[in-house]
Amino acid sequence: MGFRDLKAFNLALLTKQGWCLLQNTNSLFHHVFQAKYFADRSFLDAQLGKRPSFASQSIMATKSMVEDGIRWSIRNGDKVNIWNDKWIPNPKTYKIMTPINPLMYNEKVSTLIDKERAVWKSELVNSIFLPHEA
């Protein structure tokens, strides 16, 4: 087939499997891996056990690449943490760089949205964030 870098190709395929573990939570693949390797947590919070299989070692090796590549898509903002999650369209980090407001540490993005009109609360956004992020 003419693959130039077989190791990179294999890593890309394994990373896709890691992505599937995050996205397809109703799949048989997800249920089997979750039951065996990360029963009480999500894939991103999972750690290798005492005697991991080669398959689990391989997929867990891609966890950092999956973490680097994911970011939230804001719908209603109820699940997205303002300060800790990747959600803004900034290609460098996708995270807020504005210093954290201690009063809003655990706030979700939904607090920045006027749900009735489906628009951002612009005065609140401009008062909290640096101009280039607002």
SS3 label, residue 44: helix
Which stretch of DSSP H or E encloses residue 113? Answer: strand 113-114
CA distance 44 to 22: 8
pLDDT of residue 43: 75
Q: Which residues have a Cβ under 8 Å from the Cβ of 108 and sit 6 or more positions away?
A: 77, 78, 79, 80, 81, 82
| Residue type (1 letter), 108 | K
Alpha-carbon distance 45 to 25, whole Å? 15
* Run of H or E residues at 16: helix 6-23
pLDDT of 134 reads 76
Give pLDDT, residue 10.
84
Distance in angstroms (rounded) separating the CA atoms of residues 28 and 108? 31
User: In tens digits, what is the pLDDT along the chain, a chain of 134 residues?
Assistant: 566 778 888 888 888 888 888 888 888 988 888 888 877 777 777 777 788 888 878 888 888 777 777 777 777 777 888 888 777 777 677 778 888 877 788 888 888 888 888 888 888 888 888 888 87
Which pLDDT belongs to residue 3?
65
Taking the CA atoms of residue 75, residue 79, residue 83 and residue 87 in that order, the dihedral angle to the nearest 10 degrees is -30
Question: What pLDDT, on a 0 to 100 scale, did the predictor assign at position 2?
Answer: 60
